[in-house]
Amino acid sequence: MNEFIVTLIFIVILVSGVYFYAGYLTRTGKAEDADGNFIPDSWEEKFGWFFNAKGLIMLVLGLVLGYFLGNSFPLL
């Protein structure tokens, strides 16, 4: 169970890092963002589904992580 929690935390950090880095690239001007949504246009063409489902992806990851942490460490 602990290996699953560590893997889930790694996935949450990785996905959050991708979203943060996309915003960083557009804010600093290192990547072009024509529509102003803080997603580089080249990434948006290839991985548009990933950025369109950002809220849903983070919600599911947060719920799953919270559930497993709650079951692993009850009443801390």
Tally of CA atoms within 13 A in the half-sphere of 27 that contains its CB: 6
Write down the pLDDT at residue 1: 73
Q: What single letter denotes the amino acid at residue 69?
A: L
Average pLDDT, the chain: 92
Q: CA-CA distance, 5 to 16, in Å (whole number)?
A: 16
Q: What is the mean pLDDT of residues 7-29?
A: 94
Write down the pLDDT at residue 76: 65
- From 49, 33, 52, select the one nearest 41 (Cα to Cα): 33
Give this prediction's pTM.
0.82
Q: CA-CA distance, 50 to 68, in Å (whole number)?
A: 24
Q: What is the mean pLDDT of residues 53-68?
A: 94
Write down the pLDDT at residue 75: 78
